[in-house]
Amino acid sequence: MPQFDKKSIRSWSLLGIAPSIFIHGVADVMKKNKNTCLITADTGRYCGFQKIDEELSDRIFNVGIAEQDLIGVAAGMALEGKQVYVTTYAPFLAFRCADQLRHLAGSCNLNIKAIGTAAGFSAATSGYSLMAINDIAFARAIPNMTVLSPADCAEAMKMAVAIGETDGPVYMRFCGLNNLPNVYAEDFEYKIGKANVLKEGSKVAILATGTNVVWEALRAADMLRDNIGIEPTVADIHTIKPLDEEFVLSLCKDHSLIVTAEEHSVVGGLGGAVSECLSAHGAGVRQLFVGVEEKSCVFGSRKFMLEQAGLTAEGIVDRIKQCACRNN
């Protein structure tokens, strides 16, 4: 894996998924593990495959625009002992081959690492068909599936490498393409299933996931501190399944409001996972879900859509203030 110096991290965020996930992340795994293969459904150029070292090219396959075949072929290779990374756009990776993912990858517990690009609102100028805002809900319900959502390109690279150390199925979704903010400006500890606490505070906890959204949560925390004197806890929940339940439950002692923020439906995503955890343990802490509501039917750029959904620092702060007013 390349050095995590400040300059490299900045450049990955500018250039986006191609260098961070594929040219360095997955390629690094392939160099170490001769059994690792990479298959795409005609989105290799989008992901920078042409810049992956030539020596790895005989382990890179393309099944064409055929997502069902993508997971089926990956399953056949996994049954032969291969570790198989597959990638295409998240809306198609989660749903065009949903049956293959649930049965072959999930119930058969195969070594398939599904990386969904253009997740969330990344391609929302193309309308609903290109939006992946229900993929976490689906992936979470698949047996054995680990579900991941990186906060920036540096974390995406750590994640792409870390999943190479696991045997089971993974669904990793990445929102945005390039020119993304850095949550992690320098090297940091990364462990699947372990929440990264970015700010320690009290009363309010903002649990965020995904590119831009975690960054906006950090900005929201600064605004709350400056405007109303609350210093919230902020955490990057990069692993949605298995959820870091120990961390979530630990918040109940000093926090009376837990906010979840995600570029995903408010049904079944990070908010749902946190809610299931809190209610199962009788935590009795109020939760605020910031995410995509069903009412939305306008389309536009990712920036516009994030604003519409309230997934900006200002939007998160407004929702927290409204919630506080209702409580008083």
Partner 1 sequence: MKHWSSESLADAIYQKSLDMALGAGQQGSHIGGSFSCIEIFAVLYADVLHYSVNDPLWDERDRFIASKAHCILSHFATLSLVGYFPETELSSFHQDGGLLCGHPYAPEIGLEFSGGSLGMGISVGVGMALAAKHDGKKHKVYVLLGDGECNEGSVWESFMTANQYRLDNLTVIIDYNNMQFDDANDKVMTLDPLGKKMEAFGFAVVEVDGHDVNALRDVLAVRHVGKPLAVIAHTIKAKGIERLENKPESHQTSLLKSDYTVAMTKGRRG
Using CB under 8 A as the criterion, which residues of the chain lie in contact with partner 1 when the complex forms? Answer: 37, 58-59, 61, 63-64, 66, 68-69, 71-82, 99-100, 103-104, 107-108
Q: Which is nearer to partner 1, 41 or 131 (CB)?
A: 41
Virtual torsion, Cα 269, 275, 280, 284, nearest 10 deg: 180
- CA–CA separation, 177 vs 187, rounded Å? 22
| Closest approach of partner 1 to the CB of residue 30, in Å | 13
Using alpha carbons only, give the angle 244, 250, 251 rounded to the nearest 5 degrees. Answer: 100
| Closest approach of partner 1 to the CB of residue 51, in Å | 22
Q: Are 133 and 127 a contacting pair, CB within 8 Å?
A: no
| Closest approach of partner 1 to the CB of residue 78, in Å | 8
What are the residues whose beta carbons fall under 8 Å from the beta carbon of 147, sequence distance 6 or more?
136, 139, 140, 170, 171, 172, 173, 239, 240, 241
| Closest approach of partner 1 to the CB of residue 73, in Å | 4
Write out the two tokens for 42.
Answer: 């005609």
Q: Which is nearer to partner 1, 9 or 37 (CB)?
A: 37
Q: Which is nearer to partner 1, 37 or 317 (CB)?
A: 37
What are the residues whose beta carbons fall under 8 Å from the beta carbon of 299, sequence distance 6 or more?
124, 125, 126, 127, 128, 305
| Closest approach of partner 1 to the CB of residue 81, in Å | 8
What are the residues whose beta carbons fall under 8 Å from the beta carbon of 31, sequence distance 6 or more?
53, 56
- CA–CA separation, 96 vs 101, rounded Å? 10
Q: Which is nearer to partner 1, 107 or 250 (CB)?
A: 107
Q: Which is nearer to partner 1, 86 or 273 (CB)?
A: 86
| Closest approach of partner 1 to the CB of residue 148, in Å | 24
- CA–CA separation, 163 vs 168, rounded Å? 9
Q: Decide: helix, strand or coil at residue 59.
A: helix
Using alpha carbons only, give the angle 89, 90, 95 rounded to the nearest 5 degrees. Answer: 110
Strands 146-148 and 239-241: antiparallel
- CA–CA separation, 207 vs 154, rounded Å? 19
What are the residues whose beta carbons fall under 8 Å from the beta carbon of 303, sequence distance 6 or more?
none
Q: Which is nearer to partner 1, 96 or 140 (CB)?
A: 96
Element containing residue 236 per DSSP (H, E): strand 233-236
| Closest approach of partner 1 to the CB of residue 97, in Å | 8
Q: Which is nearer to partner 1, 73 or 220 (CB)?
A: 73
Q: Which is nearer to partner 1, 13 or 100 (CB)?
A: 100
Q: Which is nearer to partner 1, 17 or 37 (CB)?
A: 37
| Closest approach of partner 1 to the CB of residue 143, in Å | 13
| Closest approach of partner 1 to the CB of residue 82, in Å | 6
- CA–CA separation, 255 vs 197, rounded Å? 14
